[in-house]
Structure 1
Amino acid sequence: MSEQKIIDRDTYRSIKKMSREELQAFLMRYADGLLENNGKTINLREVEKDLRQIKGIGEKRLEEIMLVIEKHLGV
C-alpha cells in the first residue's frame, strides 16, 4: 500500500522550525481552509512550476512572488 502525501517537503521543513504557538496557528488556518474550501487545496510547488513557464519571470522575481503567495496563505 502506498502512502498518501499530505504535506510536501518544503511545508514539512517550515513546520519543523515553528514554535508551538506558530504550529497551533498554522493548524488552525489549515483546518479553517479545509472547511471553507470543501477540501480543495493549492499545491504551492505546482503553482511555482507553472509560474516558471511564464516568459519573463526569472528566479528572483519568482522567489518574490512565492513569498507573497506564502504570506497570504499563512505558510
Structure 2
Amino acid sequence: MVQNEIVDRDTYRKIKKMNRQKLTIFILQYGDQLLGEQGKTIDLPALEAELSKIKGIGGKRLDEIMTVIEKFLDV
C-alpha cells in the first residue's frame, strides 16, 4: 500500500518548532488551502431552488432555513 506524503520534510521540521498559537494558525491556513484546491463551493440559489421543491417547505420556512445556512457559511 502506497502512502502519499501529506507534509514534506521541510514543513515537518517547521511544525516541530512551532508553538501552539503558530501551529493553530498554520493548520487553519493549510485547511483553507486544501478546501480551495478541491474547488468545492455551494451554489446558494441552486440550493434554495432544490429545497423549495421539498413538499411542506413554504416560502417563509425556506427563508428561515436559508438564513441558518448563510449564518454557518458566514455569507
Identify which of structures 1 and 2 has the higher relative contact order when contacts are C-alpha pairs closer than 8 Å and 6+ apart: 1
Paired-residue identity, %: 60
**Quick check: which has more Rg, 1 or 2?**
2
Runs of at least 4 residues off by over 6 Å: none
Which ranges of structure 2 fall in alignment gaps of 5 or more residues? 1-31
Equivalent positions of 1:45-56 (< 5 A) are 45-56=45-56
Equivalent positions of 1:1-75 (< 5 A) are 32=32, 35-36=34-35, 38-75=38-75
TM value normalised by structure 2: 0.52
TM value normalised by structure 1: 0.52
RMSD: 1.5
Shift of 1:53: 0.3
Number of corresponding residues: 43
Which ranges of structure 1 fall in alignment gaps of 5 or more residues? 1-31
